[in-house]
Structure 1
Amino acid sequence: MRAPTTPDPIHCKRSSSDSSHIINRADVSGKPLLSNLYDVSTKISFMDEHNIDISVLSLGNPWLDFLPAEGAAEIASMNEEMQDLCSCHPGRLFFFATLPITSSISSILSEIQQLKQYPLCRGIVLGYNDFGSGLDAPEVLPMLRGIADAGFPIFFHPNNGLPGEVFGPCCADYGQVLPVSLGFTTETMIAITRIFLAGIFDSIPELRVILSHAGGTLPFIAGRIEACIENFPTSSAGGSSDPRKTIWQVLKSNIYLDGVVFDGIPLRAAADAVDIDRLMFGTDHPLFPRTRKDGMYATIGTNRDATEACFGKGVDCDKVMSGNAARILNLK
């Protein structure tokens, strides 16, 4: 196994008989729908060109919060289609399923059970803001418990980032640099901290979470979170005398990180935060379009080089590049 990736966001190619949704939102800009976003043959070619044996596919953002409450059947069809798509490439493609987040909790739990029937499903992809008041809301607990009981990890990926006004009036002059570099990672940091403060990892100790972008800034801020809890107790995290898990314990027991950070310094911090056995190589394909002079997709080259520079070409590097993902996601 050369370098199985953590989930690459890609849409399955749908037949001409399938329905499609075109969402028009005046306040949201779009991007070209190129073949690398939906065509599985393009994905396989990309994998071959970059010596990647296995990829885990998932729905890319935006998520499915535009669907009506009765959209559960459509989500079920999408997951079935992902299973069929991956089965056409035995041993090479697995997938993270999605859930009917706008439907009733009973519909969500029913779909979780159905996913157990798909041999190529390796988890569930969720955004942070898909559930109205957030993933730390009490009404979301049954869904999280259902996912944990089914044995699936959750792959969390940001979507909305931060409000545009946070970046100031000149944000548009900087293109997508601020929203993608800071907005996404800060969204991840806030969301996972809310889940932690709500005591969800204490309530559901079996819950497994994979965080994109190495957890945002979590490896750097975890100590400050603990210090604030001890000095400013909350109703759910009551200071140093509370028998709760610490954020460090959660990092090493419930959380896994991808290594999409493009540099050895944050990669080392991520490994120290969760342990080397919980860190997985990621490509970030197809977000960044740039290729290097050698023809390699730039983010793969950068992340691979950072991994080798950080851990050397040995056992630890092999774990991050392939072994951890194969073990954690049962990629065989």
Structure 2
Amino acid sequence: MSVVDIHTHMYPPSYISLLQSRYDGAGSAVPYIRTFEDAPDDPRLIILPDEDAKGGRGRPVGPEYWSVEQKIAFMDTHNIETSVVSLANPWLDFLSGFESPTWAAKINDDFEAICASHSPRLFFFGVLPLSGPPLTIIAEIKRLQTLKYARGVVIGTTGLGRGLDDPEMGKIWEALEETNTFVFLHPHYGLPSSVYGSRASEYGHVLPLALGFPMETTIAVARMWISCVWDRYPGLQILLAHAGGAIPSLAGRLQSCLEHDGHLRGNGKEEGPKRTIQEVLKQNIYLDAVVYGEVGISAAVGLVGKDRVMFGTDHPFFPPLGADEKEWLSVRTNYDAIQEAFTDEQDQDAKGVLGGNAIKVLRLQVD
């Protein structure tokens, strides 16, 4: 049985250097990487403006983020044959339109070299210079077609800065469809911290990670559907992170609310999407299996079909808290959820989710 991890991140060394260069000790603009006097060997990534203003320490960024050797060791520990790596947030959205095309090409070339040096175990989703002019974004989409180990692109829910239903995204969607480029859609920063209430700081990162990121994806996909993105670009194929957030539970409610909306459907109007959300999900959407529970896996399979769900780990996030733990609880939980979601008679379906689907959809063979 081949196991393929399609949701796994890396920050190549060049990207780490870029983030480190942004910290000048005073007045630095997020994101940046810095260390603190009491922990000089513990570099931290500061992403959010609120973190910066309040002296937050962000997230630790150790070798597990940039070392390909550690990525391969993690794969070996968890019996993962192949990984499709991608840059994680904040991608290149913080760069100017002048800078981002050069950095996108640099990072994609770095990924190509990393994957080539560990072929056929690694492939990648490329990053796009979404803060740059549309022509430069389209040029990078087309250039990625020439890279041997590229298998699509990763983008965040903000798109060009105004969301994925932004009319200006049309040229980008068109280019992605025309080139048959697979898209991995990943949440960006979650929801505003105010939605979690005044006591949220007492709960660590549980609420934003468990609820904020998935709901960000849910809202982005709903906006894409209501604004008719898939009606205009019916060939667009998108993989949603974290099993699509709340989409499996709320798809029927989305459709019903659309049909009962007086602004879009009242007085004989037929505005909004022509295809149902269920049709789009089964024809244009893939879901990863990063949901940590049998009920979530079953819902994902029921929503998009057994051939459109793929295993992922979200490495290097959610590491074990114990220093001596080699096996990651987060990965074991995902493995168990997939096994529990299928009966013995559905063993082939489980194998498809664990690797077969990704191998077929993403063409994970190298000549």
Deviation at 1:15, TM superposition (A): 10
Deviation at 1:312, TM superposition (A): 3.4
Decide which structure has greater strand share. Answer: 2
| C-alpha contact 2:2 2:356 (8 A) present in aligned 1 | no
| C-alpha contact 1:232 1:239 (8 A) present in aligned 2 | no
Greater mean deviation of Cα atoms: 172-181 or 230-239: 230-239
Aligned-pair Cα RMSD in Å: 2.3
Q: Secondary structure at the match of 1:124?
A: strand
| C-alpha contact 2:104 2:128 (8 A) present in aligned 1 | yes
Counterpart amino acid of residue 11 in structure 2: H
Kindly tell me: are residues 247 and 20 of structure 1, through their superposed partners in 2, closer, same or farther at Cα, counting changes over 3 Å? same
| C-alpha contact 1:199 1:236 (8 A) present in aligned 2 | no
Task: Write the distance in 2 (CA, Å) between the matches of 1:331 and 1:55.
Answer: 10
Counterpart amino acid of residue 325 in structure 1: A
Aligned partner (choices 287, 290, 293) of residue 260 of structure 1? 290
Counterpart amino acid of residue 188 in structure 1: T
Residue by residue over 1:28-54, the C-alpha shift from the partner in whole angstroms, topping out at 9 and shown as x without a partner, is 342111111111111011111111110
Partner in structure 1 of residue 358 of structure 2: 325
Task: Write the distance in 1 (CA, Å) between the matches of 2:16 and 2:258.
Answer: 54
Greater mean deviation of Cα atoms: 217-226 or 6-15: 6-15
Aligned partner (choices 68, 78, 102) of residue 40 of structure 1? 68
| C-alpha contact 2:258 2:264 (8 A) present in aligned 1 | no
Task: Write the distance in 1 (CA, Å) between the matches of 2:20 and 2:135.
Answer: 26
1:200 equivalenced with 2:229 (yes/no):
yes
Task: Write the distance in 1 (CA, Å) between the matches of 2:226 and 2:18.
Answer: 42
Partner in structure 2 of residue 311 of structure 1: 342
Task: Write the distance in 1 (CA, Å) between the matches of 2:98 and 2:293.
Answer: 44
Q: Secondary structure at the match of 2:359?
A: helix
For structure 2, the residue ranges without an aligned partner over 5 or more in a row are 31-48
Aligned partner (choices 98, 104, 112) of residue 75 of structure 1? 104
Task: Write the distance in 2 (CA, Å) between the matches of 1:271 and 1:15.
Answer: 35
Q: Secondary structure at the match of 1:7?
A: strand
Partner in structure 2 of residue 279 of structure 1: 309
| Displaced runs of 4 or more, over 6 A | 15-19, 236-243, 291-294
| C-alpha contact 1:128 1:134 (8 A) present in aligned 2 | yes
Alignment of 1:1-332 (within 5 A): 1-14=1-14, 21-22=21-22, 24=28, 25=30, 26-28=49-51, 29=56, 30-71=58-99, 72-235=101-264, 244-290=274-320, 295-313=326-344, 314-332=347-365
Q: Which has the larger radius of gyration?
A: 2
| C-alpha contact 1:127 1:158 (8 A) present in aligned 2 | yes
How many residues are matched? 332
Q: Could you state the TM-score of these two structures normalised by the residue count of structure 1?
A: 0.94
Kindly tell me: are residues 10 and 146 of structure 1, through their superposed partners in 2, closer, same or farther at Cα, counting changes over 3 Å? same
Task: Write the distance in 2 (CA, Å) between the matches of 1:17 and 1:174.
Answer: 32
Task: Write the distance in 2 (CA, Å) between the matches of 1:170 and 1:39.
Answer: 37
